[in-house]
Amino acid sequence: MSEIPQSVIVHPVEKFGGTIEVPGDKSISHRIAMLAGIASGESTVHNFLKSEDCINTLRAMEALGARSYVSEDGELTIHGTGGKILEPAGSLNCGNSGTTIRLLAGIIAGQSISVEMSGDESLQSRPMGRIRDPLEKMGAKLELTGEKGTAPIKIHGGSLKAIDYILPVASAQVKSCILLATLFAEGTTTITEPLPTRDHTERLMRELGINVITDGLQIKLTGFGQKGPKINGREFEVPGDFSSAAFLMMAVAARKKSKVTIKKVGLNPRRTAFLEVLKRAGADVTIKPRKTTEGGEPIGDITIVGGTLKAVEVGGAEIPNLIDELPLVAVLGALAEGTTVIRNAAELRVKEIDRITGMVNNLKSLGVDAEEQEDGMIIRGPAKIVPTTAVKSLGDHRTAMALAVLAMYGTAPVVVNNIACVETSYPGFWQHLRDLGGHVE
């Protein structure tokens, strides 16, 4: 049986901080598992994120013929399929992970196999028409057998042709799905993004010798035909996950006389808009770059010194680079002086849960003046955090962690319910809070 508790009590604390490293980046770990999984030979991956989501990707790659194991000291080794992707015996369980189902669908679409993919209740509620459209234009057939264009998905793959595709939503998952499918297609795909989104797939492909060309909002990739690319196994290193680090940054940013340093964090500029938001709010942010990892990702140390924050407005082109941190911008809004506005963020409604409704309802139950907008939220601060009831994660890891961070600024202990979901992205989160001075039981 799992020892993960169902709920925690988070107590207010005066001081919080220290020096810490967070687990590996989730987006990058998924992509390495997939590309090392189709490579020839052995890859070793340092700092792979061993969270439920990424383990689901590893398991799915195993069902397609890759092999992986973790050594006693935690290093992951992947033996790739070397181009021979098998038809799995049963349905691929992607758990809670949108990245697993959407990116892997791209690889599967280019194989002459039929595969069913599904996941938990949350994943079965998320839009999948956004990958069916481009993959069918390339020549695959996708049946969305869930209600309202959702999983379970049945993919009938085959020989694909490249496409010119304008992404209707700014989504790195959809972009990456098309890029992975293009690896197995004939011709040159051109993708046009409405706004720049995280480019981990492009960087990793380039590191592996695949010529992905980015020109402004356009990305071009020439396929290798149905046999796919020749990639050799190698070493990879995963930076610390900026999105995990962001919870610890927010736990300090509004707290006087507190300081946190998070080491070896990914600093990909398409992920770090939250640093700009913190700076706009008046936070004291220092970044010490280190190097670029094997995998083409910048990495460095981030230090935040806490103080008084002022409200921020976020929207437009920064939203895709801030998307997973928006629950924390809502927390910032609750603690800062003035009215915080989040707009152009309707994508939040189709994340693991509807994070607009989820955050606003929970904020209200903690005494915060918060209001839902169709595409965002308005939060008036600073609030006195007074819990009226337990807060509910609704099964969403980022909602659970954001609320725990806010609870540490409160006036009384807060019960955070349904916290097993935190394991999907940040195993060790509660222990890290304790290590930095949090009081969590």
Catalytic residue among 25, 199, 301, 324: 324
User: Any catalytic annotation for residue 396?
Assistant: no
Nearest to 203 by CA among 299, 276, 328: 299
Q: Interacting stretch for ligand S3P, rule CB under 6 A, among 169-177, 206-214, 223-231, 306-314?
A: 169-177
Given the complex with ligand S3P, which of 64 and 103 has the nearer CB atom?
A: 103
A 10 A CB-CB count for 168 gives: 12
Please identify, among the stretches 148-156, 166-174, 306-314, 363-371, the one whose residues bind ligand S3P according to the rule CB under 6 A: 166-174
- Is 177 near ligand S3P (CB under 6 A)? no
Number of residues that bind ligand S3P (CB under 6 A): 11
Q: Could you give the angle at the alpha carbon of 43 between the alpha carbons of 39 and 46, nearest 5°?
A: 135
In whole angstroms, the minimum distance from the beta carbon of 198 to ligand S3P comes to 6
Dist CA 150 CA 129 (whole Å): 7
Query: Is 107 one of the binding residues for ligand S3P (CB under 6 A)?
Result: no
The residue from 57, 68, 124, 173 that contacts ligand S3P (CB under 6 A) is: 173
Q: CA–CA separation, 152 vs 132, rounded Å?
A: 12
Decide whether 38 or 128 has the Cβ nearer to ligand S3P.
128
Tell which one of 45, 78, 162, 172 touches ligand S3P (CB under 6 A): 172
Give the separation between CA 436 and CA 441, rounded to whole angstroms.
Answer: 14
Q: How many CB atoms lie within 10 A of CB 121?
A: 8
Site pattern 37..56 for ligand S3P (x: CB under 6 A): --------------------
Site string for ligand S3P, 310-349 (x = CB under 6 A): -------------xx----------------------x--
User: Does 29 sit near ligand S3P (CB under 6 A)?
Assistant: no
Beta carbon of residue 321, minimum distance to ligand S3P (angstroms, whole number): 10
Instruction: Output 169 or 415, the one with its CB closest to ligand S3P.
Output: 169
Q: Interface with ligand S3P includes 272 (CB under 6 A)? A: no
- Pick the closer one to ligand S3P by CB: 347 or 369: 347
What's the min distance (Å) between Cβ of 342 and ligand S3P? 15
Minimum distance from CB of 118 to ligand S3P (Å)?
18
Least spacing, CB of residue 254 vs ligand S3P, in Å: 24
- CB-CB contact of 165 with 134 (8 Å): yes
- Catalytic residue numbers read 324
Q: Footprint of ligand S3P on this chain (CB under 6 A)?
A: 27, 30, 99, 171-173, 176, 198, 323-324, 347
